[in-house]
Amino acid sequence: MPKPVVPEEKRRRRRPTKRGTVLSEELIVRTALRLLREHGSAGLTARRLGLALDADPSTLYRYFRGMDDLTLAIGDALIGRALDGWRRTGEWRADLRAFGLAVHAAYVEHPQAAVLTASRVSGRANELAADEAVLDVLRTAGFPLPEAVRVYHAFIDTTLGFAALDAAALALPRESLRADEDMWRSTYARLPAATHPRIAEAAPLLATRMVTSAYPTVLDMLLDSAAARLGAGQGQGRAGRDAGVSPAGPSPRSR
């Protein structure tokens, strides 16, 4: 049975640690991110965290129900970092593109943490704020509710999927990552046109593009598709109104 988390008002230690710091959820998450960056997922243990914080490992359970709960808090913190640098402009496509890139960047900045958390659902404050914001951008832009949820689903999964993929590559040992990248400039570049004509003609471009993330390109494709569907839907609505027929589905302003 998981231990109950101590209420927020009772979490503060009565006295600082030997280093003069007072534990908090934010400090524990920051320290966990550092340990993940330095030691990988195998290095994130209650014992190692306690040593890094100069506190008894059992103290962590005053803040988190267990290491999995801490993992969810780490993922939520990464989303929070993306939210901190994102400002809505009122132009839905630009806003979603900027937010997607911000989320992707926040995750790949901490690749070990991203591998652990990109597939998780925390239900924490930053995650909820991000989901609310994305849905609001889409609904305010005029997407009907089913279409807004459809685009939201594709947008979130694409963003986190590429974050996990790119983070997994960055989390590889440096030698392995370099070897994978060199493969495009060695094996692929040397394939003869007689046996692999399409790879041979594309080899210079592959060597340039395949060592970078495809996420910005895929994000643009996704948003282009969403914009086209929105335009088509609005065009059908205008045609229906011109013919004296009400468009199907509720208006976004009818909420």
Domain containing 23 — which CATH number?
1.10.10
**Residues spanned by the domain of 41:** 1-65
Is residue 25 in a domain? yes
Helices H / strands E in the chain, number of each: 10, 0
Total domains in the fold of the chain? 1
Is residue 41 in a domain? yes
Nearest to 182 by CA among 151, 161, 210: 210
| Residue 210, both tokens | 């395949």
Is residue 218 in a domain? no
Is residue 157 in a domain? no
As a whole number of angstroms, the distance between CA 231 and CA 217 comes to 21
In this structure, which amino acid lies at residue 244? G
Question: How do the pLDDT tens digits run along the chain, 255 residues long?
Answer: 555 555 555 554 445 555 556 889 999 999 999 999 998 888 899 999 999 999 989 888 899 999 999 999 999 999 999 999 899 999 999 999 999 999 999 999 999 999 999 999 999 999 999 999 999 999 999 999 999 999 999 999 999 999 999 999 999 999 999 999 999 999 999 999 999 999 999 999 999 999 999 999 999 999 999 999 999 877 665 554 544 444 444 443 333
Is residue 78 in a domain? no
Whether 255 contacts 166, CB under 8 Å: no
In this structure, which amino acid lies at residue 69? D
pTM (predicted TM-score): 0.81
Is residue 119 in a domain? no
In this structure, which amino acid lies at residue 74? I
Whether 129 contacts 83, CB under 8 Å: yes
Is residue 40 in a domain? yes
Nearest to 156 by CA among 164, 144, 145: 164
Is residue 1 in a domain? yes
As a whole number of angstroms, the distance between CA 200 and CA 186 comes to 12
Whether 75 contacts 117, CB under 8 Å: yes
